[in-house]
Amino acid sequence: MELIKKIKQAEAQAQEIIEQAKAQAATQAEEARQRRRQLLEKAEQQRKKATEAAVTEAQSQGHTEVEKLKTQAEKQRRKLHDKAGSKLATAAARITDYLGSHSAKTSQNVAPSRG
């Protein structure tokens, strides 16, 4: 009888240990799920932060590049304007000289008309 009582106590203890193990496993599984969820949320926040930083950096670089290109284009425009202006002045001087010399020759060849 004593042996049966001890066996039943051992079975009860074993069942209690099993139940405690199940409860502990469930608790650990829930904690693991929460940690995983927190890690995923943190990773998502870091990803968003990195994306925003990359976008901000790209916008800054783009703005810098635009300003650089504007400055470069303005320099080229001024250079072209100056070059065209000097050629225009030279061409105008040549035309004036030609017309002046051609006009003088023509007036020498034409006799004054007496009317």
pLDDT tens, per residue, the chain with 115 residues? 888 999 999 999 999 999 999 999 999 999 999 999 999 999 999 999 999 999 999 999 999 999 999 999 999 999 998 888 888 888 888 888 888 887 766 666 655 555 5
Q: Quick check: is 91 in a domain?
A: no
Domain-located, residue 93: no
Residue 27 is assigned to a structural domain of this protein: yes
Which pair of structure tokens corresponds to residue 75?
């320099």
Residue 49 included in any domain: yes
**Domain presence at residue 106:** no
Distance CA 98, CA 88 (A): 15
| Total domains, the chain | 1
| Maximum distance among all Cα pairs of the chain, rounded to whole angstroms | 167
Tokens of 61: 């670089």
- 54 lies in some domain: yes
Question: Which residue's structure tokens are 């209690």?
Answer: 16
Closest CA to 105 of 97, 113, 114: 97
Place of tokens 């069942």: 15
Query: What is the domain range of residue 51?
Result: 1-73
